[in-house]
Chain A
Amino acid sequence: MKRHALIALFIFGSFFGSTAAMADAATEAATAVDPVAEKRLQKLSEELRCLVCQNQTIADSNAELAQDLRREVRTMIKDGKTDQEIVDFMVVRYGDFVLYRPPVKGITLLLWGGPVALMLLGLFILVRYLRRRATRINAEDQPLSADETSRADAMLKEIDQK
């Protein structure tokens, strides 16, 4: 049983290993020999969303569009465009959605501020709860009054007699 699992794992692993290597070879061949340009392409691609698969960057995605956009970025790098120019090129065509890190704007305020606001709300509720609990415990911590003491004594005596 265990052996089967091992064999399956081996086949699985070698399959994925080989396809990954193939993909690497393909992209490397296309960017040819310039390691600086390759690094910039990689970095820019990680900042840009693939609009077909939406939750992947164009670096991760192998969708047609991602390949086309990587090719565009590559051409622009070759043409000596700056990173900002390349990003602007994408934003003009696909909107802010193409940016994997959306810019801080009126419309994205909830997106950026939401988590902080939620944390502040949580802190506020926590502090309020702790304060209330503290006053409640303080209130309960008062020593017994003379009347209460005598009643308690009476009750204890009753139990002792039984």
Chain B
Amino acid sequence: MNRYFWILGAFAALVALLAIGLNLNPRDVPSPLVGKPAPAFNLTILATPDKALAPKDMQGKVWLLNVWSSWCVSCRAEHPVLVEFSKKVDVPLIGLNYKEVRGDGGFDMSKMPADEEKKLAFQRANKWLSDHGDPYKLTVMDLDGRVGIDYGVYGVPETYVIDKAGIIRMKHTGPISPDVLAQKIMPLLAELNK
């Protein structure tokens, strides 16, 4: 009898281990960038293509960097939350448009000249924002995804919370749900803005 308790116990432990393990989100990879300065970039601004933005322009402010794209399905789910956020909260939300054209998968990039890609990307991004509402203070264009690599982007949408000193304080991979916003992001913003 005693032996069967052992086996049953071991089995229960295994089930518990699997239950915990399988409920973890495998996309939730801890970012090594948290606690480090936001990587530098200098990218064209969507609304004013003759101007560029660098993270150091945001120095002294707590701000959010949200990586999005018009081809990204989860961004659509997240978008209303961001629109709502931008209406209520006075924290600058900067959009980083990630590989608008070449990330789409529907274009043969070997046949598209760079200036055509740029034109198309601006067109598509602008259209998307006018269709769905623009929660961003401004959006910068990362056409080739090079800045995305510096930020360790691997699944759009992704969102970074950056503090007044330019240090990344949080990274969220995947769409921001109202729960994530209320429980993770808002308390952090309040603390950083103290």
Q: Count how many chain B residues have C-beta atoms less than 8 Å from C-beta atoms of the other chain.
A: 17
Count A-B pairs with CB separation below 8 Å.
38
* Contact call B31/A72, Cβ cutoff below 8 A: no
The answer, yes or no, to whether A97 is at the interface (CB within 8 Å) is: yes
Is chain A's interface secondary structure helix, strand, loop, or mixed overall?
helix
Q: Which residues of chain A are within 8 angstroms of B151 by Cβ–Cβ distance?
A: 93
- Scan residues 32-53 of chain B and give those whose CB is less than 8 A from a CB of chain A: 32-33
* Contact call B26/A54, Cβ cutoff below 8 A: yes
* Contact call A65/B154, Cβ cutoff below 8 A: yes
Taken together as a complex, chains A and B put the C-alpha atoms of A51 and B148 apart, in Å, by 13
Taken together as a complex, chains A and B put the C-alpha atoms of A75 and B26 apart, in Å, by 30
* Contact call B150/A93, Cβ cutoff below 8 A: yes
The answer, yes or no, to whether B55 is at the interface (CB within 8 Å) is: no
- Scan residues 6-39 of chain B and give those whose CB is less than 8 A from a CB of chain A: 26, 29-33
Closest to A72 in B: B149
Taken together as a complex, chains A and B put the C-alpha atoms of A65 and B146 apart, in Å, by 11
Closest to A64 in B: B103
The answer, yes or no, to whether B155 is at the interface (CB within 8 Å) is: yes
The answer, yes or no, to whether B152 is at the interface (CB within 8 Å) is: yes
Q: Which residues of chain B are within 8 angstroms of A94 by Cβ–Cβ distance?
A: 29, 31-32, 152, 154
Q: Count how many chain A residues have C-beta atoms less than 8 Å from C-beta atoms of the other chain.
A: 15
The answer, yes or no, to whether B79 is at the interface (CB within 8 Å) is: no
Q: Which residues of chain B are within 8 angstroms of A51 by Cβ–Cβ distance?
A: 29, 154-155
Closest beta carbon of chain B to A59's beta carbon, Å: 17
The answer, yes or no, to whether A85 is at the interface (CB within 8 Å) is: no
Contact A64 to B29, CB < 8 A, known contacts A72-B149, A94-B154 = no
A-B contact pairs, 30 of them (CB 8 A): A51-B29, A51-B154, A51-B155, A52-B154, A52-B155, A54-B26, A64-B99, A64-B103, A64-B105, A64-B145, A65-B154, A68-B148, A68-B149, A69-B149, A91-B32, A92-B32, A92-B33, A93-B32, A93-B149, A93-B152, A94-B29, A94-B31, A94-B32, A94-B154, A95-B29, A95-B30, A95-B32, A96-B32, A97-B29, A97-B30
B interface residues (Cβ-Cβ under 8 A, vs A): 26, 29-33, 99, 103, 105, 145, 148-152, 154-155
A interface residues (Cβ-Cβ under 8 A, vs B): 51-52, 54, 64-65, 68-69, 72, 91-97
Q: Which 4 A-B pairs have the closest CB atoms?
A: A51-B154, A93-B152, A95-B32, A97-B29
